[in-house]
Amino acid sequence: MTDHVHNSGRFGHAVSTPASRNRVMRNTYWLLALSMLPTVLGAWIGVQTGITASLTGGLGLIVFLGGAFGFMFAIEKTKNSAAGVPVLLAFTFFMGLMLSRMLAMVLGFSNGSSLVMTAFGGTAGVFFVMANLSTVIKRDLSGMGKWLFVGALAIMVGAIINVFVGSTAGMAAIATLAIIVFSMYLLYDLKRIVDGGETNYVTATLGLYLSLFNIFQSLLALLGIFGGERD
């Protein structure tokens, strides 16, 4: 459970017109959908080749954190250029590779395929609910940002510690907290787009993608812990 990171530094200038806000939202949704393709490809390659199987303990932590933060730095630097989208898609491919180790473990259960589909359906359900809430809630949610960042940081620290402790109960607790925090992050980010607080669709997509990735991974971990069946 080392994959709980979130880019919190997303503060754009207000969008002045409904047409501009709709354009950012439309482009974000299209890019978010597109980002799933390299994620699936990376996960499939990882599962088929076992390329990430050796990334355990401290080594896996170093590779993941180094790669993830390196890519997020590159996305921030290129978000306003033609390179922004390709860099983001390369990042999602990397995240798919990093997810493949957990996917391979879950698919090792006799009911592994159904657990993966359940996690996918649960993640889609959370997104649907939060997307709808973001359009009906009139209250300003900008104050949530600092608390969500603290929550995400606590999850990351807890996950790093648990890499070395190896506690199943700790993993379950971290995964549960991650589902709550990143579901709220989804609502927070979507509401910022709706209100015109986010003007860059590359940055907006990155935020939504990270929340969805963490929700899916956390659901998958919980389902594997409590619902995995051996032959």
Which pLDDT band holds residue 9 (cuts at 50, 70, 90)? very low
Separation of CA 197 from chain center: 20
- The pLDDT tens digits of the residues spanning 38-61 come to 999 999 999 999 888 777 767 777
- 11: in domain: no
Determine the straight-line distance between the first and last CA of the chain, rounded to whole angstroms: 25
Counting the structural domains of the chain, the total is: 1
pTM of the model: 0.88
Which pLDDT band holds residue 176 (cuts at 50, 70, 90)? very high
CA atoms within 13 A on the CB side of 84: 16
Enclosing domain of residue 53: 18-227
CA 108 vs CA 50, 104, 111, 123, 173: distances in Å:
13, 6, 8, 21, 23
Does 11 score more than 70 pLDDT?
A: no
Which pLDDT band holds residue 118 (cuts at 50, 70, 90)? very high
- 82: in domain: yes
According to the model, what pLDDT value does residue 17 have?
A: 78
Find out whether 88 and 39 touch, Cβ atoms under 8 Å: no
- 1: in domain: no
According to the model, what pLDDT value does residue 197 have?
A: 85
- 182: in domain: yes
- What percentage of the chain carries pLDDT values higher than 90? 62
